[in-house]
Amino acid sequence: MANTCKNHPDREAKRRCYHCKEWICSECQIRLVHHIYCSFRCFLSHNIKRISHIIRDVPNHIKLQFRSLGPKIKVRDFIEIALLLLILVSTVMWIRNSMELSRLKNELSSEDVSPKQALDMISEEADSLVIVSPNSGSMILKNKIDIEGEAESNCIVSISSNGRLIDAQVVKARKFKFEGIVGKPGRNNFIVRAFREDGSSDILEEINLTFGRPTISYLTRDFSRGDISVPRIAFTFDGGYLNNATADILDILKHEDVKATIFLTGIFLRKYPELVKRMVAEGHEIGNHTWSHPHLTTFESNRRHFTLDTITREQLHEQLSLTEILFRKITGKEMVKFWRAPYGEHNLQIRQWAADLGYKHIGWTLGRGWEDGMDTLDWVADKNSSAYHSAEEISDKILTFGAKTKHGANGAIVLMHLGTERKDDYPHLKLPYIIDQLKKMNYEPVLISEMMQ
């Protein structure tokens, strides 16, 4: 007779929990440190028990060894203690992140909004979240309009979109013209207003347009390079949990008058809200890097991007939605509907799950090897690692990317990080030189949203 899952009696179970020995189905299996458990509680119970036994027995073992002057103390015992302590520390960090998630949910509940309602509200609030699926899979990618007219000389004419000022100019010879005004997916409310010297103002024209909203086929395609016929390049930065390079990077970008697309986790948002406010104030666009930076695929174990058994559609939605909610609470603004998978682990199924919330995945420009791509690997701190590259090597790689090809670095997306474990040789300090050289080569640094236009 087949065994059944302890949590789902109607399902067949082929594996047992390593700790409690209960039968569990594939949905209930949690793989941690080479073993399968039915819950995180069983994982904790099993390893705390092991640690306590080893810590209790090793001192007696050491005393006996010294008294008898016999064989040397087994190094294996100490290695096992170190590994188990590492597991314990990782567990504490996992619990802390889980508590952060729970606390944010409680905050939402205290406002008479349940987590589920909050997720539903996100889908209702933003036009970009309304996804259509025409049979052709087609959609509008660019919308630009020109507006020209007449007004009194020396008055100021402005144009705004959805309440945000886009451009303003002083009228000369009674003529004015706004060119290449970009419409975004969803509803657009353009207002042209004239301001006179006496302080009065009039609305000259109000234009309401609705442009094509994202389709599933569009959102599920990974975006890792822009138009290769246009000399643009995008600098992107990931912020997981370290911020020790962030202030330097923001100072450099401000001095060089460059805007970047930055992907932040919920953990980063929670720890460094003032830095996040500064990013927004200085014109950088902020994308979603999930809440706790989890692994999403099996790539770490088998170099294949199969969705992990422990990752579900609901879990990914929670990771993205709670990060988005916290960003709104901190800044009062909406997060751009771009996301970047932690560790670059994603596949079509995972991108479809994210597309349910209106998110499009933004990768980085890849090549056959490190030299041929724009992943700087600036996070690698071990100088003995084959993946380590000096700041000079990273700088040279970016500046010579595509040098032997027809389109050079057109449309390239560079990946760097806001934090580092390096003690010296910091790649981000090369940014002033890199940006200066790229500009001399006629490349324009742009935001991801601009690269898509």
Distance CA 333, CA 284 (A): 12
- Co-location of 342 and 225 in the same domain: yes
Say which CATH number the domain at 166 has: 2.60.40.3110
pLDDT higher at 292 or 89: 292
Total domain count, the chain = 3
80 occurs within a structural domain: yes
Residue 107 has pLDDT above 60, yes or no: no
User: Of 91-105, 308-322, 372-386, which gets the smallest average pLDDT?
Assistant: 91-105
pTM of the model: 0.65
pLDDT higher at 379 or 54: 379
Reported as a pLDDT band with limits 50, 70 and 90, residue 112 is: very low
pLDDT higher at 72 or 22: 22
Q: Would you state the structure tokens that stand for residue 37, as one six-digit string?
A: 């458990």
246 occurs within a structural domain: yes
pLDDT value for 216: 78
Reported as a pLDDT band with limits 50, 70 and 90, residue 95 is: low
275 Cβ neighbours under 8 A, 6+ residues apart:
243, 246, 247, 250
129 occurs within a structural domain: no
Can you list the positions of beta strands (E) in 196-277?
201-211, 232-239, 261-264
- Co-location of 263 and 394 in the same domain: yes
Residue 213 has pLDDT above 50, yes or no: yes
Reported as a pLDDT band with limits 50, 70 and 90, residue 129 is: very low
**pLDDT tens digits for 392-403?**
999 999 999 999
pLDDT higher at 184 or 159: 159
- Co-location of 205 and 223 in the same domain: no
pLDDT value for 75: 58
- The amino acid that residue 18 corresponds to is Y
pLDDT higher at 97 or 354: 354
Token look-up 């000096």 returns 390
Query: Nearest CA to 286 among 268, 303, 307?
Result: 268
**420-428 mean pLDDT:** 96
20 occurs within a structural domain: no
pLDDT value for 447: 97
| Domain enclosing residue 149, as ranges | 144-211
From 152, 176, 211, the end of a domain falls on: 211
**201-224 mean pLDDT:** 85
Query: Nearest CA to 194 among 162, 163, 152, 165?
Result: 152
Which residues are paired to 169 by β-bridges?
157
Q: What are residue 35's phi and psi, to 5 degrees?
A: -130, 160
Residue 121 has pLDDT above 80, yes or no: no
Distance CA 164, CA 168 (A): 12
Distance CA 127, CA 123 (A): 8
**215-225 mean pLDDT:** 88
Residue 87 has pLDDT above 90, yes or no: no
Residue 22 has pLDDT above 70, yes or no: yes
pLDDT value for 17: 87
**158-185 mean pLDDT:** 87
pLDDT value for 55: 61
Say which CATH number the domain at 343 has: 3.20.20.370
- Co-location of 248 and 351 in the same domain: yes
Determine what percent of the chain is predicted with pLDDT higher than 90.
Answer: 55
**6-23 mean pLDDT:** 80
**pLDDT tens digits for 57-84?**
655 555 555 455 444 555 555 666 666 6
From 112, 128, 156, the end of a domain falls on: 112
- Co-location of 188 and 298 in the same domain: no
Reported as a pLDDT band with limits 50, 70 and 90, residue 125 is: very low
